[in-house]
Amino acid sequence: MDRYRFILSGGGTGGHIYPAVAIANELKRRYPDAEFLFVGAKDKMEMEKVPQAGYEIKGLWISGIQRKLTLKNLMFPLKLISSLLEARKIVKQFKPHVAIGTGGFASGPLLRMAESSGVPCVLQEQNSFAGITNKLLAGKAEKICVAYDGMERFFPKEKIVKTGNPIRTDLVEIKESKKEAAAFFGLDVDKKTVLILGGSLGARRINQLIEKELEFFGKQGLQVLWQCGKLYHEEYKKHESDTVKVLAFINRMDLAYASADVIISRAGAGSVSELCLVGKPVIFIPSPNVAEDHQTQNAKALVAKDAAIMLKENELDAEFENRFSALMKSEAIQEKLGRNIKKMAMPKATEHIVDEIVKLLK
């Protein structure tokens, strides 16, 4: 048997890129001599992030369709034909044994050309509401790895395997104590901490909410660890104090989670999977500005199992203080939410996805 060759595609956002890299890392652990090639969309973040992770990547001239008539939309058919031809050439040259798609524009042309060349394909869908690329590819895929129940709404039931989403390995077992975490961030170990997560770039509406509620948190004797995102750090760093820590980005998420008593977060697939593992009470504020409103669907899946609280952006002004106060006043509710969200954790997701890929090698 010659060395295995794996071709992977997933991009546009970290939510597609990170799972693809995690899957490649686990395949590399099992097959150290294997060859890997990523395919992404030119000018998207995967062209930077994948080489940083140590893998080669080729770019396709592809983008999504805008919701209104634009020059980009008029260019779409040309981009699609160009990407399909380039993807066919890449597949022909690389001769992969398996193709893996984690969503995003580029995975469409790549996996379409792979399956038409007889290469078995595996899809990984992170969200509870499937993305358009994976829905289009599902008919020809061998296996579709998902993180939520009820995905037969989108995919053939016989192809679905519930594996969960790949999670950063440093979070699988959070050993750090609250004392260590408090020392790292300059927090008071005896005070309760609210951790705010709006994603690496930040979330404008969450930041506006937190700025407005700082006095409210102070009156409740709480301290705030606030990841406002690099786009907003200049605007909000003026609020830094003994009880409010304002960070553009948190490099030590293990310590951030260890410090938290309650977490306020967006509901992207990666964040939800991590927070299940962490097992702390969470208030999700889904972004309404994402495809098919999938963050709301992700959060609803947890709310349905009494594992989280969800507030929509348009409810924040009227509802936030009442819902937050009710949560903080009840140890029983905090314990119930933490216990139920922990039950939904799938810490071995990456290994289970790779198990499905390995089956296709045989």
Phi, psi of 62 (to 5 degrees): -145, 150
How far apart are alpha carbons 231 and 13 in whole angstroms? 16
Nearest to 182 by CA among 249, 263, 243: 243
Is residue 287 annotated as involved in ligand binding? no
Burial 300-315 (b: 16+ CB within 10 A, else e): bbbeeeebbbbbebee
Q: Which two tokens stand for residue 183?
A: 């020392």
Neighbours of 317 (CB within 10 A): 11
Is residue 15 annotated as involved in ligand binding? yes
Phi, psi of 123 (to 5 degrees): -105, 145
CA contacts within 13 A on the Cβ side of 12: 19
The three-state (H, E, C) secondary structure of 114-135, written as one string: HHHCCCCEEEEECCCCCCHHHH
Is residue 107 annotated as involved in ligand binding? no
Is residue 295 annotated as involved in ligand binding? yes
Query: What is the residue whose two structure tokens read 């609210």?
Result: 194
Query: What is the residue whose two structure tokens read 């790549």?
Result: 110
Interior angle at CA 239, CA 235 and CA 240, nearest 5: 115
How far apart are alpha carbons 78 and 62 in whole angstroms? 9
Is residue 174 annotated as involved in ligand binding? no
Is residue 14 annotated as involved in ligand binding? yes
Is residue 127 annotated as involved in ligand binding? yes
Q: Which residues are annotated as a binding site?
A: 13-15, 127, 168, 200, 250, 295
Q: Which residues are annotated as a binding site for UDP-N-acetyl-alpha-D-glucosamine?
A: 13-15, 127, 168, 200, 250, 295
